[in-house]
């Protein structure tokens, strides 16, 4: 079975509802997954926007959320999940808002793409503290059993 990542809040390639953005409640969208491969010891979730600051001339990837060491028996995350409600053992990295919790889409100009990437790893990662995206990705090579991606878009209305 292939690893699949979905959200009941938006379709792949569809628009992320405003409640999950800076114009709404700025809470994380609900996510579900299936097809975790045998031998998976932990999961990593990275949510990032490669279109920052302007999709017509992107200059950086803006990181919105980093989670690692999610237990492999986890089947998803509920909408608006907080640090206190994450599955036991889950660690958080630091995003480009300089915080560990989810930061919703808030593009300064144009329609941006937001990639939610889930990785199944054959190991529990060492305690990385509150890693950046690059530090987290540097710990993963050689351990990725499978990965899945869900992309949603958003453009500010105001």
Q: Could you give the CA distance from residue 101 to residue 143 in angstroms, rounded to a whole number?
A: 25
For the chain, which residues score pLDDT lower than 70? none
Contacts of residue 42, defined as CB under 8 A and 6 or more positions apart, other chains included, come to 68, 69, 70, 71, 72, 121, 123, 124, 125
Q: CB of 144 within 8 A of CB of 121? A: yes
Q: Which pLDDT score is estimated for 104?
A: 97
Nearest to 148 by CA among 76, 86, 50: 76
pLDDT tens digits along 13-44: 999 999 999 999 999 999 999 999 999 999 99
Architecture of domain 4-154: Alpha-Beta Complex (3.90)
So where are the chain's domains? Answer: 4-154
Q: CB of 20 within 8 A of CB of 104? A: yes
């Amino acid at each position: 079975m292939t690893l699949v990542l979905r959200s009941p809040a938006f379709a792949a390639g569809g628009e992320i509802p405003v409640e999950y953005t800076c114009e709404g409640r700025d809470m994380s969208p609900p996510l579900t997954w299936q097809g975790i491969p045998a031998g998976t010891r932990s999961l990593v979730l990275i949510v990032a926007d490669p279109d920052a600051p302007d999709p017509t001339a992107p200059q950086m990837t803006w990181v919105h959320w980093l989670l690692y060491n999610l237990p492999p028996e986890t089947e998803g995350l509920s909408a608006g999940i907080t640090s206190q409600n994450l599955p036991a053992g889950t660690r958080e990295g630091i995003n480009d808002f300089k915080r560990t919790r989810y930061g919703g889409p808030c593009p300064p100009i144009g329609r941006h793409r937001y990639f939610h990437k889930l990785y199944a790893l054959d190991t529990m990662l060492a305690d990385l503290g509150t890693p950046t995206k690059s530090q987290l990705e540097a710990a993963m090579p050689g351990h990725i059993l499978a990965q899945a991606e869900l992309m949603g878009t958003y453009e500010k209305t105001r």
